[in-house]
């Protein structure tokens, strides 16, 4: 019944309709992608102009900006596990995700109303990040529950690609507005608020909160059951593999710092590095997801991880020309496309329906802790023995982590097929 | 249900496009906020000449006209420059500011008529600008966000560029110079450099700050040698006196973001505070061998370098002072 009505809705532009028909992506996934796209446009618009706004309009010193930017980080991590479990327990993934999107939208309104003090801006940025922390796990659970188990990687690929389109459009729109109306940051905030409200509206009006795989009967899960995921025969190996791989992977931020020390050309080229990686990611996320559904998520995930060796190789070169740089950035974009979304899809296949959001929340937290360990370790190694030796050690660690992760991931995938 | 939800969504999209588009048009047609109308007012009359950047205390939005204040009178202003930071020496100056598009940062190299000659695209927020006494080299520090290393956008970092003032070309990025400490090469992921000052007698020689971990090292470097060595800790934004014998700098109070101005003896590396008791976040400038000139982001003050006396107001509503010695 619902599917028939959905096809009549014709909300999405023609092109999308045709493409998603060919891809056979559930409408709910496309709608969730649209929510993320609109919300990312909104957030990235603000993130792009915030430094300029603080310094030129509020007269803040760049150090204050550093402190405010720092609050971006810590705020999100803690709430992920809690929001994941809560949405499983209440069976209200859409509502909990909506709370997260709503908080971020409220933050944009607050920026208009009370963004003229530095403390106010700091608080608003923190609220925005908490909103992001709340919504991620239930949103990913909804994507997973909306998809058939053999189409999970394609669904996550579509969502991540749409998400990154939003992240690319945001800065462009912000710059466009400031170009038309120089220094009118209020206009940027107004348009950003409208995008956030639209994102929330698409979620409320067009996303089905009880998709096909959503559990409809049985008792609500206990917290003990969520904890037991840590010992689950499918999910536990997945978590261990994910932790190992994230510890052995140098973060993208550090890779860019390394490239900037190695590169021989104009500083003006640097912003293009991020753009190039993002475009590669955008282009590859969907085909890589389809490939993972066809030949298996584990080989695609491991091949994606292996692309990091190319990146490390370029960082080890004594001088980096344009060709090497492009190879490096394409490899980096491919690595992103073949890892994060595919890993979440694998988790979606392994996890029981009633604990999807809890498990994904745990996975995101483990991966971000792994990245933190990785960054601290890489920074310490760089200081102690230099950039090149640090990369060699990380390349060895990545090889080891991949050898250990392969059997663990295959065991997880096997458990998913049994279940 | 779904189709009604769809119709409401389409209606909302239309409303949002109209509201957003309307507001942008309204803002674009409204009065421009990128004025450079602010002008400084001379404080205590003194027979000195300084170049300053004007600020309007009531609305600090995008100011930055450049003025020369001489003998207690505001002499002239630039027509074409709008700067966040300005410096000038031997007929050539650097103005770091917002590009005319209003959405990007740019620096111009200008001549003795305050007319721009070259422009250089900047990759971050303007922080410090200096020109060597002979007008040969320029140095610029910008703040960059997005490549901090624990997570994207954790903190911010700095980048310092050396510029050939004649051609307006970037010569090198300080981050790519080698650094030695106690005779050993050192390196770390969080190396940040800022606040170059050139030796007035030899523009190849410079001092700067190297920040890493909780350290703020004073480094001495060579442009041609592409190298630096660490001299001591606890020195930010050094500034060499005209006779090359003393360095004024920001001394951090604990690990806060508050600083006192100090002066150190180049020969002994010993330092003492000056009479300014407030926290100052500026790279001080030398009016002569005995007097510092600096700004508190609102006004420009002078203070004796030997620690005696009191701060004196030199120019109201101005920052980024440059001593003009002929």
Q: Cβ separation of A386 and B155 shorter than 8 Å?
A: no
| CA distance to partner chain B, nearest, from residue A43 (Å) | 14
Region B243-250 average pLDDT: 96
Residues linked to residue B97 through DSSP beta bridges, in sequence order: B106
Q: Find the residue in A nearest to B171 (Cα).
A: A266
What is the reported pLDDT for B151?
41
Q: What is the dihedral of CA B92, B95, B96, B99, to 10 degrees?
A: -120
Comparing C-alpha atoms, which of A185, A190, A93 is closest to residue A143?
Answer: A93
Give CA–CA dist A12/A62, Å, rounded: 42
**Residue written as token pair 């008791």:** B277
Q: Find the residue in B nearest to A190 (Cα).
A: B20
Q: Name the pLDDT band for B256 (thresholds 50, 70, 90).
A: confident
Selected residue of A72, A189, A251, A260 to mutate for chain B interface (largest B Cβ count, 10 A): A260
Q: Cβ separation of B2 and A65 shorter than 8 Å?
A: no
3 state SS of A19: helix
**Given this chain, do its domains A25-206 and A223-418 carry the same CATH topology?**
yes
Sheet strands (E) in A71-184: none
What is the reported pLDDT for A9?
43
Give CA–CA dist B312/B50, Å, rounded: 15
Selected residue of A9, A16, A27, A48 to mutate for chain B interface (largest B Cβ count, 10 A): A9
Selected residue of B1, B2, B23, B146 to mutate for chain A interface (largest A Cβ count, 10 A): B2
Assigned token pair, B46: 């003194």
| CA distance to partner chain A, nearest, from residue B215 (Å) | 14
What is the reported pLDDT for B144?
75
| CA distance to partner chain A, nearest, from residue B157 (Å) | 9
Cβ neighbours of B212 in A, within 8 Å: 383
Task: Write the class of the CATH domain A25-206.
Answer: mainly alpha
Higher per-residue pLDDT: B213 or B282: B282
Q: Cβ separation of A206 and B6 shorter than 8 Å?
A: yes
Minimum-distance CB partner of B257 among A63, A180, A383: A63
Contact by Cβ (8 Å): B87, B133: no
What is the reported pLDDT for B153?
36
pLDDT digits (tens, 9 = 90+) for B36-92: 566 787 776 567 788 888 877 665 555 678 888 888 788 777 777 888 899 999 999
What is the reported pLDDT for A275?
86
CA angle A313, A316, A318 (to 5 degrees): 130
| CA distance to partner chain B, nearest, from residue A222 (Å) | 33
What is the reported pLDDT for B103?
64
Residues of chain A with pLDDT under 50: 1-15, 17, 20-21, 70
What is the reported pLDDT for B59?
58
Q: Cβ separation of A260 and B281 shorter than 8 Å?
A: no
Q: Cβ separation of A11 and B147 shorter than 8 Å?
A: no
Looking at 2.40.420.20, 1.20.1250.20, 1.10.3290.10, 3.40.50.300, the CATH number of the domain A223-418 comes to 1.20.1250.20
For chain A, what are the domain ranges? 25-206, 223-418
Region B118-139 average pLDDT: 91
Cβ neighbours of B154 in A, within 8 Å: 69-70, 72-73, 253
Q: Cβ separation of B187 and A383 shorter than 8 Å?
A: yes
Give CA–CA dist A119/A113, Å, rounded: 13
| CA distance to partner chain A, nearest, from residue B200 (Å) | 28
In what side-by-side order are the strands of the sheet with B73-77? B73-77, B66-70, B49-54, B318-323
Assigned token pair, B164: 């050939």
pLDDT digits (tens, 9 = 90+) for A357-408: 999 999 999 998 898 888 888 888 988 888 899 999 999 999 999 999 999 9
Cβ neighbours of B1 in A, within 8 Å: 5
Q: Cβ separation of B3 and A5 shorter than 8 Å?
A: yes
Q: Cβ separation of B24 and A177 shorter than 8 Å?
A: yes
| CA distance to partner chain B, nearest, from residue A113 (Å) | 16
Q: Is a pLDDT exceeding 90 seen at residue B213?
A: no
Contact by Cβ (8 Å): B177, B228: yes
**How does the average pLDDT of chain B come out, rounded?**
86
Q: Cβ separation of B9 and A11 shorter than 8 Å?
A: yes
Residues linked to residue B198 through DSSP beta bridges, in sequence order: B206
Q: Cβ separation of B24 and A191 shorter than 8 Å?
A: yes
Tell how far CA B25 is from the center of its chain. 34
Cβ neighbours of B168 in A, within 8 Å: none
Minimum-distance CB partner of B151 among A73, A181, A267: A73
ipTM higher than 0.85?
A: no
> Over pLDDT 70: what percentage of chain B?
88
CB-defined contacts A:B, below 8 A? 188
What is the reported pLDDT for A76?
64
Minimum-distance CB partner of A11 among B6, B19, B103: B6
| CA distance to partner chain A, nearest, from residue B23 (Å) | 6
| CA distance to partner chain A, nearest, from residue B207 (Å) | 21
Q: How many CB atoms lie within 10 A of CB A53?
A: 22
Q: Cβ separation of A191 and B61 shorter than 8 Å?
A: no
Read out DSSP for B278-298?
A: S---S--EEEETTEEEEE-SS
3-state DSSP helix/strand/coil % of chain A, to nearest 5: 85, 0, 15
């Amino acid at each position: 019944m619902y599917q028939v009505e959905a096809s009549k809705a014709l909300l999405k532009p023609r092109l999308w309709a045709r493409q998603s028909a060919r891809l056979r992506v559930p409408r709910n996934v496309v709608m969730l992608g649209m929510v993320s796209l609109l919300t990312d446009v909104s957030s990235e618009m603000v993130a792009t102009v915030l430094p300029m706004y603080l310094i030129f309009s509020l007269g803040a010193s760049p150090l204050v900006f550093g402190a405010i930017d720092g609050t971006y980080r810590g705020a999100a991590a803690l709430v992920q596990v809690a929001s994941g479990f809560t949405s499983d327990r209440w069976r209200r993934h859409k509502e909990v995700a909506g709370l997260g999107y709503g908080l971020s939208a409220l933050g944009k309104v607050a920026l208009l109303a009370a963004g003229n003090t530095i403390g106010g801006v700091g608080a608003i940025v923190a609220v925005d990040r908490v909103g992001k922390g709340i919504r991620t796990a239930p949103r990913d659970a909804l994507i997973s529950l909306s998809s058939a188990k053999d189409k999970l990687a394609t669904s996550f690929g579509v969502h991540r690609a749409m998400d990154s389109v939003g992240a690319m459009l945001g800065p462009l729109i912000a710059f466009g507005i400031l170009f038309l109306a120089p220094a009118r940051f209020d206009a940027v905030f107004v348009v950003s608020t409208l995008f956030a409200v639209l994102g929330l509206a698409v979620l409320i009006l067009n996303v089905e909160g009880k998709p096909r795989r959503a559990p409809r009967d049985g008792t609500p899960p206990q917290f003990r059951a969520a904890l037991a995921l840590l010992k689950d025969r499918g999910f536990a190996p997945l978590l261990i593999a994910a932790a190992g791989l994230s510890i052995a992977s140098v973060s993208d931020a550090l890779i860019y710092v390394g490239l900037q020390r190695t590169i021989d050309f104009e500083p003006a080229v640097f912003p293009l590095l991020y753009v190039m990686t993002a475009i590669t990611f955008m282009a590859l996320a969907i085909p890589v997801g389809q490939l993972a559904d066809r030949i298996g998520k584990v080989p695609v995930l491991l091949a994606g991880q292996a692309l990091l060796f190319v990146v490390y190789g370029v960082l080890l070169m004594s001088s980096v020309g344009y060709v090497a740089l492009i190879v490096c950035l394409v490899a980096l974009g491919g690595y992103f496309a073949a890892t994060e979304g595919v890993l979440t899809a694998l988790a979606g296949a392994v996890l029981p329906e009633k604990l999807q959001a809890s498990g994904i929340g745990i996975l995101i937290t483990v991966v971000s802790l792994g990245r933190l360990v990785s960054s601290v370790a890489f920074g310490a190694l760089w200081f102690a023995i230099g950039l090149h030796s640090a990369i060699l050690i990380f390349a060895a660690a990545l090889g080891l982590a991949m050898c250990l992760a392969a059997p663990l991931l295959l065991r997880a995938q096997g458990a998913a097929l049994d279940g | 249900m779904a189709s009604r939800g769809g119709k409401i969504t389409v209606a909302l999209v239309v409303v949002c496009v109209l509201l957003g588009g309307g507001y942008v048009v309204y803002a674009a047609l409204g009065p421009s906020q990128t004025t450079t109308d602010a002008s400084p007012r001379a404080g205590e009359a003194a027979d000195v000449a300084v170049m300053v950047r004007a600020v309007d205390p009531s609305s600090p939005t995008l100011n930055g006209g450049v003025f020369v204040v001489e003998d207690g009178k505001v002499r002239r202003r630039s027509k074409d420059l709008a700067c966040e930071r300005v410096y000038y020496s031997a007929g050539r100056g650097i103005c770091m500011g917002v590009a005319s598009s209003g959405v990007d940062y740019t620096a111009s190299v200008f001549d003795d008529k305050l007319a721009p000659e070259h422009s250089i695209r900047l990759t971050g927020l303007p922080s410090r600008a200096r020109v060597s006494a002979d007008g040969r080299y320029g140095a610029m520090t910008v703040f960059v966000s997005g490549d901090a290393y624990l997570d994207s956008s954790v903190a911010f970092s700095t980048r310092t560029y050396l510029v050939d003032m004649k051609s307006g070309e970037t010569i090198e990025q300080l981050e790519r110079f080698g650094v030695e400490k106690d005779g050993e090469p050192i390196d770390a992921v969080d190396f940040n450099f800022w606040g170059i000052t050139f030796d007035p007698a030899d523009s190849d020689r410079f001092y700067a700050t190297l920040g890493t971990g909780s350290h703020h090292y004073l480094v001495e470097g060579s442009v041609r040698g592409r190298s630096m060595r660490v001299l001591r800790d606890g020195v930010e934004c050094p500034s060499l006196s005209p006779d090359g014998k003393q360095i004024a700098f920001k001394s951090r109070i604990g690990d806060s973001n508050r600083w006192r101005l100090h002066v150190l003896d180049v020969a002994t590396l010993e330092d003492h505070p000056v009479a300014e008791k407030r926290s100052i976040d500026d790279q001080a400038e030398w009016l002569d061998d005995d007097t510092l000139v600096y700004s508190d982001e609102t006004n420009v003050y002078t203070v004796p370098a030997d620690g005696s006396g009191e701060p004196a107001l030199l120019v109201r509503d101005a920052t980024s002072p440059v001593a003009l010695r002929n």
